[in-house]
Amino acid sequence: MPLTFAFLHHLTAFALVSAIAIELVLLGQKFTLEKARKLQIVDRVLGISAGLLVVVGLLRVFYFEKGSAYYFHNGAFHAKLALFFLAALLSIYPTFRFVSWNKSLKQGKLPDVSERQWKRMRGIVHIELAAVVGILLCAAMMARGIGYFG
């Protein structure tokens, strides 16, 4: 069972990173109806991946790995969670923007997005990717026992 949950954890993490990367690419292209619809779909995949990642990760912490005492006494784990939740909080803005497009897209119209909003969304996605890099560093540290203070 630990192997299955480790696999699921990695699968959801890669899906999440892929979705963030695809969002960044789409936000770097010309804005069209097709791109707007794709951004909404990719953002939905991102949200589902993030939710599953948290659930599977917590199951690993409490039931399938070293035990919660190890993780909650590890600074790298705390940093990893902080970076994850920072990225999650930041992703709220693009998600609300994408959802706000529903009415326009149903009418076959391109949503009105200002240059400022576009740049803000793109900047946020860059920060999300930077947070993922930090999360990967923290995961490597945890796997080697670095940061344990218990």
* Every domain of the chain and the residues it spans: 2-143
The partner residues of 74 in beta bridges, in order of sequence, read 148
Gap between the Cα atoms of 51 and 128, Å rounded:
16
Q: Which residues of the chain have pLDDT under 70?
A: none
| CATH code reported for the domain at 2-143 | 1.20.120
The partner residues of 148 in beta bridges, in order of sequence, read 74
HEC-encoded secondary structure of the chain: CHHHHHHHHHHHHHHHHHHHHHHHHHHCCCCCHHHHHHHHHHHHHHHHHHHHHHHHHHHHHHHHCCCHHHHHCEHHHHHHHHHHHHHHHHCHHHHHHHHHCHHHHHCCCCCCCCHHHHHHHHHHHHHHHHHHHHHHHHHHHHHCCCCECC
Predicted local distance difference test score (pLDDT) of residue 92: 98
Gap between the Cα atoms of 46 and 55, Å rounded:
14
Contact at 8 Å (CB) between 110 and 36? yes
Predicted local distance difference test score (pLDDT) of residue 34: 97
